[in-house]
Amino acid sequence: MKNFKANGLPLLIGSLPMDSHEEATRLVLDHTPDIPLWVQLPLYKKEGMINQFLPGLPGFTNETEKSLLDTSKPGFDEEFLAFVEEYLSITESGADVGASRFALSGSRGKGFFEFLKQVDEKGSPFIALKGQVTGPITFGTAVKDENDKDIFYNDQLKDAAIKKLALNARWQAGEFSKRGAVPIIFIDEPALAGFGTSAYITITKEDVIQSIEEIVREIHAQNGLAGVHVCANTEWDMLLGSKIDIISFDAFSFFDRFILYPEMIKTYLEQSKILAWGIVPTAKPEVIAAQTTQGLVQLLHGQMDELSDKTGIDKETIISQAFITPSCGTGSLDLDSAKTVLKLTKEVSAAFRQK
């Protein structure tokens, strides 16, 4: 994977405000034909970034509106044992992960399977195919136990959740590999924007990295590239020093915070790793509407020049290890704004590579 070059290609973050998986997938393929991704449609509750990965976890029940794992329910111990046995059957005995609880299915997997269908219909080779799982910190602090406590603070439930996400990532990567494409799987961690605040004061950097790298290992097992996407800002040193291959950051609004780690960024890039520059804003429709392709290309060049000056890495190398992306997903926007984001991402990448 060290030979993989991003070369300023466009890449998307996983959600759109649409109600048709077929149309959403076509829109993605139109705007990112080299490296498309499967789309989550949050208009369907079961495709929310927490709900999508809950089924199959011990203690899960559909009978509540909350994201809940109930360790007090009858038969929980048996459920947990069955979960562990199925996990071991895959990781140690080579059982098919696609036929297990760790794969997406039914109403929670429509976007993924529509994506595979259209990819197969295209028949043409893709440079890579992109998927995503919810990050363990975001997931573990959103899902509760029966006492309304975050499952991240319950070692048993936290371990199960991380293993569920890890094998789902492995399954996605395996499906993409079957199609002759490099798998790229993002671990979406919006909760890391709050890392270090009172809400997460008992979670350490070691907790974050150990949890994420368990998922990274399963992606690497399928010869995939593992990315982490963080909305807004975080303590980038913990990710820059990890085994992650791609760091996706909001370059439009938070480049000034990211560039505070020049030596670590230099070391990171010297390992042939990739930065996904979220140069197209997604936060507010009025901000999106005010952007031009030329203006964003100029902003991007200015940022890369500054990074080159501060790290001593030549700009050509920085460009070869850069994706052009939106700053975040577009699932919470109106459809016109979301389409504008996709259009700008495609155009900025094309103009940037041409220049």
- The span from the first CA to the last CA of the chain, in angstroms, equals 27
In this prediction, residue 185 carries a pLDDT of 98
Range of the domain at 34: 21-354
- Block residue for tokens 């010297």: 270
Closest CA to 165 of 217, 209, 102, 221: 102
Residue 36 within a domain: yes
Closest CA to 253 of 212, 293, 284, 294: 284
Q: Mark residue 85 as left, alpha or beta (left: phi above 0; alpha: psi -120 to 50; beta: remaining).
A: alpha
**97, 171 contact by CB (below 8 A):** yes
Q: What is the dihedral of CA 41, 42, 45, 50, to 10 degrees?
A: 110
List b or e across 113-124, with b for residues whose CB sees 16 or more CB atoms inside 10 angstroms.
Answer: ebbbebbeeeee
Domain count, the chain: 1
What's the CATH number where 343 sits?
Answer: 3.20.20.210
In this prediction, residue 61 carries a pLDDT of 85
Q: Distance of alpha carbon 17 from its chain centroid, rounded?
A: 17
Residue 298 within a domain: yes
Residue 202 within a domain: yes
In this prediction, residue 138 carries a pLDDT of 96
**2, 313 contact by CB (below 8 A):** no
In this prediction, residue 2 carries a pLDDT of 64
pTM: 0.96
Looking at residue 240, what DSSP letter applies? H
Residue 9 within a domain: no
Q: Distance of alpha carbon 69 from its chain centroid, rounded?
A: 23
CA distance 270 to 265: 8
In this prediction, residue 137 carries a pLDDT of 96
In this prediction, residue 195 carries a pLDDT of 87
Q: From residue 91, give the alpha-carbon distance in Å to each of 69, 79, 154, 217, 244.
A: 24, 19, 23, 12, 21
| 220 SS3 class | helix
Residue 271 within a domain: yes
What does the pLDDT profile of the chain (355 residues) look like in tens digits? Answer: 568 999 999 999 989 999 999 999 999 999 999 999 999 999 999 999 999 999 999 999 876 678 999 999 999 999 999 999 999 999 999 999 999 999 999 889 999 999 999 999 998 889 999 999 999 999 999 999 999 999 999 999 999 999 999 999 999 999 999 999 999 999 999 999 988 777 778 899 999 999 999 999 999 999 999 999 998 899 999 999 999 999 999 999 999 999 999 999 999 999 999 999 999 999 999 999 999 999 999 999 999 999 999 999 999 999 999 999 999 999 999 999 999 999 999 999 999 888 6
Residue 341: HSE in the Cβ half-sphere, 13 Å Cα cutoff? 34
Residue 84 within a domain: yes
In this prediction, residue 1 carries a pLDDT of 57
Residue 231 within a domain: yes
Q: From residue 325, give the alpha-carbon distance in Å to each of 58, 221, 229, 248, 344.
A: 36, 26, 11, 8, 9
Residue 4 within a domain: no
CA distance 262 to 279: 19
